[in-house]
Amino acid sequence: MTVSLFATIIAFMTSPVVAKNCYPGLNYCGHTLRDIAWFNSYDDQIKEQLVLNGKAPTEENIERSLFHCTGGPDGEIKFVKVCDDPFLDTCRTREKENDVCSTYIREWCLYSTSQGDWTTGPC
């Protein structure tokens, strides 16, 4: 029993780690790439692609950008666009489909202030 347990532990420890990569041909949001590749981080590729395309490698640009997966052993990606239109201002993950820049609808409400005035703001 001890020998088989020891053999199982050794086999597990010496097995190669398989990194999860993007699926070739699909578009991915930067935040999706970060979520799927916890071992093989996409951060360096994402930042490199942003800089190569004249975009600042800020956290906001990383989260709101679309990248196309070209494949390869490291799951290579190419920059597509930053979702920065005021009405298309978020990158939306879609299961087993291309991620997209998504319409973001803001709801505004009317609020009464303590001075008796009215103001608007997000609901």
Nearest C-alpha neighbor of 33 from the set 90, 85, 75:
75
Distance, in Å, from the CA atom of 63 to the CA atom of 85, rounded to the nearest integer, reads 14
Task: Supply the pTM of this predicted model.
Answer: 0.65
Distance, in Å, from the CA atom of 80 to the CA atom of 66, rounded to the nearest integer, reads 5
Per the model's pLDDT, the better-predicted residue between 2 and 81 turns out to be 81
| Amino acid 18: pLDDT | 47
Q: Which pLDDT tens digit goes with each residue over 80-113? A: 999 877 655 677 888 778 988 876 555 556 677 7
Return the H-helix or E-strand segment holding 33.
helix 30-36
